[in-house]
Amino acid sequence: MTTATDGARMTITTLLVANRGEIACRIFRTCRDLGITTVAVYSDADADALHVREADLAVRLPGAAPADTYLRGDLVVAAARAAGADAVHPGYGFLSENAAFAAAVQDAGLVWVGPPVKAIELMASKTRAKELMAGAGVPLLAPVDPATAGEDDLPLLLKAASGGGGRGMRIVRELDALPGELLAAAAEAASAFGDGEVFAEPYVERGRHVEVQVMADAHGTVWALGTRDCSLQRRHQKVIEEAPAPGLDEALRTRLHEAAVAAARAVDYRGAGTVEFLVSADGRPYFLEMNTRLQVEHPVTEAVFGLDLVALQLRSAEGEPLPSPEPPQPSGHAVEARLYAEDPARGWQPQTGALLTLEVPEGPGLRLDTGYAGGDAIGVHYDPMIAKVIAHAPTRTEAVRLLARALERARVHGPVTNRDLLVRSLRHPDFAAARLDTGFYDRHLVELTAPGAGRDPATAALAATLAEAVRGADAVRGAEAVRGTEAGRGVSTHGPAPARFGAWRNVPSQPQRKRYRSEPDGTEHEVAYRTPRTGIPQPYETPGTRVLAAKPDHVTLEVNRVTRHFAITAHGGRVHVDAADASYTFTALPRFTDPATHTAPGSLLAPMPGTVVRLADGLTTGVAVEAGQPLIWLEAMKMEHRILAPASGTLTALHAAPGHQVEVGALLAVVQEDPAATPVPVPVPEETA
């Protein structure tokens, strides 16, 4: 079969996407528009995933771990041939920048929807890429040899030579920490990319992450499609991206565009790619890397330029030229926020479980890219990103406002997410003023995750209580109706009658009470209410609040003369309350505390499901440990997490061993505190990446 690299033109009819989740669904959408048959691959963990449901055909990759499935190029190529595909699109991540996989696809007679193998090889190693870019005149940071690094070289940034996404990346501020961080970075890089090579370069404080989208064809045309700012990052992974990058003068934009085009031409690039730069506080750009694939944040460029980059990738792979020598003119501003299943207030801990509801407002200027739907499960094997929400408007201010409001009004029920953090970030004065750099969350995370001003969990808990009271009354009436029907048919109705709403009490003037715990902060709320003869429950001792309507799924209250609406959704013991300006999650608490739920002091519990990858050297029962000392390393969702000693004392129990799979809340170890030790605050288990 003819491939695009032969210079001939051909037509793709059936495309296999060698990826999963959101990006697979995104590519399928364009394929449907173009009349191309789609093929998904899936691991056992993804058997019921949205990308599998949306594909025309699907091929199983046995296993669950990425190393056994999505990173097995031989299995992916075999899947393409079995499904009758004539082309393969790699998406992003996994094998998308693997030159050997690209070559294997072409050797199998399939079209590779990506850049030439040689371009991937040249850019695959960041160390080799920097040497090549230096020869092309692209500005870059000089590498630092870790073996000879001194105090004057600090701080240093360690990076994996292969791959990206923040894996294998460390900031080193003290020389004594350098050997250990090099070891950890190499281990994580080897686990994520199969290549443990890492390198060091100066870490630029308060730098901006700015990138240029390029698109090239096989006929000599290279487009520079504007800039994107991706400075808001956690764990070196992007959270909010926008196009164009705000606050850059025209000279700097021109320099970035020219450098990006030079980088693409230096490797005879074709297809979609991104050239990433670090822009220092004084406006000097430095080449970071070239991603030889589609980026997660590509929708903001699509919105601003009115393009479908996936369609252009397919066109390029088919040997077609770009539509014109020059790119279209940009229009307006676009902002993208990545919605993650994670808890920013607890070290960005990934979260798992059933995604019960996912509803994001629709409308002009809004776009949702996701690999999940309500009812899907978020597992432990892959990245915890749920969706990307994109807003496009004539100005940056309008786009930011539209996106913040859409996220605020979204209904996301299930695991804890970063939704509130995203809304607050978009409304933060520094973001509004485009004062952006990669240290944004280092400086502002505490205030962005603090209990929010303007939130009113007590009133939301009241709405949840009133809705539950109505549900209870409806259930009683339904049960009585059934009993009446059965009695009319002569069916025995012996046995206890269902309790009437509120049950019998010998002090009827006393209110009923309901207790809730806010998630994830743990604040408890007790709500008192009474039910008069009207049957509509009323708040008790809540001045200024009046019930206008109460249904099992919707409550309308007048609070200090302002009418407020609450949508209530109950899932087992969890209750989700969505208001116009905030969303709340509560766990219903029993009237009496179960003693069995208490945890012994000093217990170290698994903060998430995962695999124990290693223990501290010499860790065994009876050894002394210090507060804050890393004891256990847990791997979950492709990241490594340290479990720290909560206090100085003695390890009295150890239930973890390398290779053990653990569930959230599993007891890993117990530290008996030494009363003579200086008390310290109990630390939250923190990330190592």
Residues 19 and 21: their CA atoms lie apart, in Å, by 7
In the prediction, which pLDDT does 586 show? 96
Question: Regarding beta strands 14-17 and 87-89, do their DSSP bridges make them parallel or antiparallel, or are they unpaired?
Answer: parallel
Residue 496: both structure tokens together: 């206890």
Percent of the chain with pLDDT over 70: 89
Inform me whether the pLDDT recorded for 492 exceeds 60.
Answer: no
pLDDT of res. 494: 44
Contact 175, 154 (CB under 8 A): yes
- pLDDT value of position 683: 40
Rounded Cα gap, residues 462 and 512, in angstroms: 12
Q: What are the backbone dihedrals phi and psi of residue 162, each rounded to the nearest 5 degrees, phi first?
A: -115, 150
The token pair that represents 124 in the structure block: 């695959």
Q: What is the Cα–Cα distance from 8 to 318, expressed in whole angstroms?
A: 8
For 379, 530, 559, 566, the CA distances from 463, given in Å and listed in that order, are 32, 13, 11, 7
CA distance linking residue 641 with residue 608, whole number of Å: 10
CA–CA distance, 623 with 669 (Å, rounded to integer): 12
Whether the predicted pLDDT of 604 surpasses 70 = yes
Average pLDDT of 475-498? 54
Average pLDDT of the chain, as a whole number: 88
pLDDT grade for 236, boundaries at 50, 70 and 90: confident
Predicted pLDDT of residue 638: 61
Residue-level pLDDT at 385:
97
Mean pLDDT of 367-389: 96
Hey, CA dihedral for 518, 439, 412, 637, is it positive or negative? negative
What integer pLDDT is reported at residue 248 of this predicted model? 97
Q: Is pTM, for the whole model, over 0.85? A: no
* Residue pLDDT, tens place only, 111-158: 999 999 999 999 987 778 888 888 888 888 878 888 888 888 888 988
Q: What is the pLDDT of residue 137?
A: 84
Q: In what order do the strands lie in the sheet with 170-172?
A: 170-172, 156-160, 198-202
Band (235; pLDDT cuts 50, 70, 90)? confident
CA distance 444 to 430: 10
pLDDT for the residue numbered 2:
38
Q: How confident is the model at residue 46, as a pLDDT?
A: 97
C-beta neighbour count of 626 within 10 angstroms: 14
The dihedrals phi and psi of 339, each to the nearest 5 degrees, come to -90, 115
Give CA–CA dist 231/440, Å, rounded: 8
Residues 6+ apart with CB under 8 A from 205: 155, 281, 439
Confidence (pLDDT) at 272: 98
Is the pLDDT at 415 greater than 70? The verdict is yes
The string of DSSP letters for 442-468 reads HHHHHHHHSPPTT--HHHHHHHHHHHH
Inform me whether the pLDDT recorded for 159 exceeds 90: no
**Nearest one of 578, 239, 263 to 383, comparing CA atoms:** 239
pLDDT in tens, 195-218: 788 888 888 888 999 999 999 999
User: How many Cβ atoms sit within 10 Å of the Cβ of residue 92?
Assistant: 20
**Residue 599: pLDDT band by 50, 70, 90 thresholds?**
low
Which of 200-209, 290-299, 320-329, 563-572 is predicted with the least confidence, judged by mean pLDDT? Answer: 200-209
- Orientation angle between helical segments 298-305 and 309-317, nearest 10 degrees: 90
In the chain, the percentage of residues whose pLDDT exceeds 90 is: 65
Confidence of residue 678 (pLDDT cuts 50, 70, 90): low
Sign for the pseudo-dihedral over CA of 185, 187, 190, 196: positive
What pLDDT score was predicted for residue 665? Answer: 77
Give the residue, 6 or 96, on which the prediction is more confident. Answer: 96
Question: Domains, the chain, ranges and CATH?
Answer: 4-113 (3.40.50.20), 142-202 (3.30.1490.20), 211-449 (3.30.470.20), 453-476+511-592 (3.30.700), 600-687 (2.40.50.100)
Query: Which of 189-203, 297-311, 468-482 has the highest mean predicted lDDT (pLDDT)?
Result: 297-311
pLDDT of 479 reads 58
For residue 488, pLDDT beyond 80: no
Residue that wins the pLDDT comparison between 315 and 474:
315
Secondary structure class of 650 (helix, strand, coil): strand
pLDDT at position 659, please?
83
Q: Which of 481, 232, 487, 220 is CA-nearest to residue 338?
A: 232
User: Would you call 493 helix, strand, or coil by DSSP?
Assistant: coil
Distance CA 125, CA 132 (A): 11
Tell me the mean pLDDT in the region 84-101: 97
What is the predicted pLDDT for the residue at 476?
Answer: 63
Higher pLDDT, 235 or 231: 231
Can you give the three-state secondary structure of 142-185, one letter per residue?
Answer: CCECHHHCCHHHCCEEEEECCCCCCCCCEEECCHHHHHHHHHHH
605 vs 204, 351, 536, 649, 654, CA distance in Å? 36, 15, 43, 17, 11
Residue 489 has a pLDDT of 60
- Cβ distance 330 to 226 under 8 Å? yes
Report residue 549's pLDDT band, with 50, 70 and 90 as the boundaries.
Answer: very high
- pLDDT band at residue 677 under the 50/70/90 scheme: low
- For residue 664, pLDDT beyond 80: no
Beta-bridge partners for 111: 87
**Spatial distance between the Cα atoms of 670 and 548, rounded to a whole number of angstroms:** 51
> Cα–Cα distance between 341 and 1 in angstroms, integer?
43
Q: How confident is the model at residue 342 (pLDDT cuts 50, 70, 90)?
A: very high
pLDDT at residue number 478: 64
The 3-state secondary structure of 228-243, one letter per residue: EEEEEEECCEEEEEEE
CB within 8 Å of 172: residues ≥ 6 apart: 154, 155, 156, 157, 158, 178, 181, 200, 203
Helical axes 419-426 vs 440-449, angle rounded to 10°: 110
- Widest Cα–Cα separation across the chain: 94
- Give residue 243's pLDDT band: very low, low, confident or very high (50, 70, 90): very high
